[in-house]
Structure 1
Amino acid sequence: MTNSNPWDADWEVSEPLARELIFRQFPQLSTMPIKLIGCGWDNMAFRVGDEYVFRFPRRNVAVELIKKEGVLLPMLAAFLTIPYPKPVFYGEPNDDYPFAFLGYTYVSGTFPKGLTDEQRASSAVALATFLKSLHTFPPQLARENGIEHDHRNLLDIAQRKEKMQTFLSTLAVHISEEDRDAIANYLGQIVIDRISPREVLLHGDLHVKNMLINEVGHISGIIDWGDLNVGHPGADLNVAYSFLPPQARQSFFHAYGEVDEETKILARIMAVYIPMLLWMQALDHNDKEVAEEARMTIRRALADE
């Protein structure tokens, strides 16, 4: 299969194949219903009964990532203050599917789309506390267990800005002049080329599709840990700009701890960069709901306190 977009699959896992793989290796689950519940960039997710979710890599890059999840996630239990999927079943490669796959505890909730500013602000302290604790995990221990260091080269702001300008060229014909100008003006204001290194363990991919909320709009889960890496905390702190409204940022940073200006620069860049990618994918898939969520995420990220 030839991939023209970063979200395109190298292969797909059908529901019958997933059922065969899961039930053959874990026959104790064979009486449970199974259904496809999600298809991310890296993995396809199937819910098994009410208790479990299994993820199967669908891109080459995800094959090693899911193995590292299986190793490190159990070590994070004492560091995570928001529910997350815990690996329970470790699927082995076989002739039908030559890659490892994982079964986790199921975390209930829905994606945080269409929330009010008040609902978002209500999770500011919970998110800050979660990240503060996660970022205390020993980075050396993470590296010893196969976690990569800054695999996306986040410190190179000039390169990141260049990518975003390319994204904007792709988006420009699909979005309003107001949104296009807002992003272009923001990119024009970024004058730093590189930031100083910092090392913490990162979730690495915090955005609307990897966060869950409960029925009243409070954060109830953080999912998809495939981008676990050691790097600059600004990558995760993007949620202060992407998820939270401007008036909640002060309480977020008060709970997390004060950060320097370079960290805030990177956090805001990632708060725009990630939804630009999601916006392009949504346009490619004709997903108007995600496209609108990405647009509003960027608007929040660019808004001043």
Structure 2
Amino acid sequence: MERGIAVPDAPDADIAVDPHLVERLVRGQRPDLVGPLQLVANGWDNAVFRLGDDLAVRMPRRTTAAHLIEHEQEWLPSIAARVPVAVPLPVHAGEPTAEFPWPWSIVPWFEGRSAASVAPASREGIARTLADFVHALAVPAPGNAPHNPYRGVPLADREEVVWDRLAGRRVERAAELAVLWDHLVQVEPWAGPPLWVHGDLHPANIVVTDAAPEAAGVDPAALVAVVDFGDLTAGDPATDLAVAWLAFDAVGRAAFRARIDELGPRDEATWQRARAWALVWATAVAESTDGDGPIAAIGRHAVTEVLLEE
């Protein structure tokens, strides 16, 4: 993961997490792993510290998201064994303490950078490998899988909130998006069993190689890992296919879709719901972020891409 990643458009933290707090937690529960700490990401829901050379500490920063890290601790072992891409399988499931009341994790450190730091046109190199990941993840989930009321659900469950966002003043090209949403929300819903869904698959949660674009013989956007499984849930697999619009331009999207359809063709209704989920994500970002941070940039890109196609 790239050094110094920040999300300037993220909400304020409910608990300020600093290296001194993290060092005390690690020393108290895994003294064998104590090492130098460096803050590398202060994200939407979590702060991430590099621990030594090979590990990272993932610390919740908001009450509303604190329980999500438990999903990773419980379910990533089985997912890691199935998918062809590295995921942050916890090395230690940190327990709450009197000083820090939420679960936290020590996970592997992935050398590379956020795909959000790579221009969309340069992400085509990860399209096929990312499609392999999405396909491998999307198997029927057990009955006790996490339920996320905002991801993987029927589009009708998100209809009212999207209309409210489009009626406001924060979403660019809202009138065009409204016409598209009116069409997409009527697409046939998912009728299959609930499948595993990452739930937040966008460039900021994808790690790619850190090679400079001009490095001879090296793909600057080779896929290293998929991270942040806090929104993991069971439901409509079209939710994760939305990454086709969130991460790629038309060329990369075509490569991603072609590989998905090689592995197991999805019907047109599923691809249309995926486009709708990209619209859902983009309007959520537009409503809740300001400025030029990476999440806002992904949202603006998604708006352009979902409106690009007929």
TM-score of the aligned structures, taking structure 2 as reference length = 0.82
Q: Per-residue deviation at 1:106?
A: 0.8
Tell me which residue corresponds to 2:3. Answer: none
Overall identity of the aligned pairs, in %: 29
Q: Using a 3 Å threshold, how does the CA distance of structure 1 residues 12 and 262 change in structure 2: closer, same or farther?
A: farther
Tell me which residue corresponds to 1:187. Answer: 181
SS state at 1:158 partner: helix
> Paired residues, what number?
289
Distance 1:275 1:240 in 2: 13
Tell me which residue corresponds to 2:299. Answer: 294
Mark the runs of 5 or more structure 2 residues left unpaired by the alignment: 1-8, 212-219
8 Å Cα contact 1:124/1:252 also seen in 2: yes
SS state at 2:204 partner: coil
The residue type equivalent to 1:185 in the other structure is V
The residue type equivalent to 1:95 in the other structure is A
Aligned residues: CA RMSD: 2.7
8 Å Cα contact 1:210/1:224 also seen in 2: yes
Q: Per-residue deviation at 1:225?
A: 0.7
1:57 aligned onto 2:50: no
Q: Per-residue deviation at 1:74?
A: 1.3
Q: Using a 3 Å threshold, how does the CA distance of structure 1 residues 205 and 292 change in structure 2: closer, same or farther?
A: closer
8 Å Cα contact 2:94/2:104 also seen in 1: yes
1:228 aligned onto 2:232: yes
Counterparts of 1:143-292 in structure 2, within 5 Å, are 143-144=143-144, 147-149=145-147, 151-152=149-150, 154-170=152-168, 172=169, 175=172, 179-192=173-186, 195-198=189-192, 199-214=194-209, 215=211, 216-256=220-260, 257-283=264-290, 286-292=291-297
SS state at 1:296 partner: helix
Q: Greater RCO between the two (CA within 8 Å, min separation 6)? A: 2
Tell me which residue corresponds to 2:28. Answer: 24
8 Å Cα contact 1:134/1:202 also seen in 2: yes
Q: Per-residue deviation at 1:76?
A: 1.8
Counterparts of 1:51-130 in structure 2, within 5 Å, are 51-113=54-116, 115-116=118-119, 118-130=121-133
8 Å Cα contact 2:187/2:269 also seen in 1: no
User: C-alpha deviations, 1:277-300, integer Å up to 9, x for none?
Assistant: 3334430xx445543332122212
Distance 2:111 2:306 in 1: 27
Moved more, 104-113 or 248-257: 248-257
Mark the runs of 5 or more structure 1 residues left unpaired by the alignment: none
8 Å Cα contact 2:76/2:89 also seen in 1: yes
Q: Per-residue deviation at 1:99?
A: 2.3
Distance 1:107 1:158 in 2: 37
Q: Using a 3 Å threshold, how does the CA distance of structure 1 residues 114 and 168 change in structure 2: closer, same or farther?
A: farther
Distance 2:163 2:75 in 1: 35
Q: Per-residue deviation at 1:107?
A: 1.4
Q: Using a 3 Å threshold, how does the CA distance of structure 1 residues 153 and 253 change in structure 2: closer, same or farther?
A: closer
SS state at 1:102 partner: strand
Q: Per-residue deviation at 1:12?
A: 3.0
TM-score of the aligned structures, taking structure 1 as reference length = 0.83
Q: Per-residue deviation at 1:197?
A: 3.6
8 Å Cα contact 1:92/1:99 also seen in 2: yes
Distance 1:66 1:204 in 2: 13
Q: Using a 3 Å threshold, how does the CA distance of structure 1 residues 134 and 28 change in structure 2: closer, same or farther?
A: same
Q: Using a 3 Å threshold, how does the CA distance of structure 1 residues 154 and 134 change in structure 2: closer, same or farther?
A: closer
Q: Using a 3 Å threshold, how does the CA distance of structure 1 residues 76 and 188 change in structure 2: closer, same or farther?
A: closer
SS state at 1:103 partner: strand
Distance 1:222 1:81 in 2: 10
Q: Using a 3 Å threshold, how does the CA distance of structure 1 residues 278 and 153 change in structure 2: closer, same or farther?
A: closer
8 Å Cα contact 2:67/2:102 also seen in 1: no
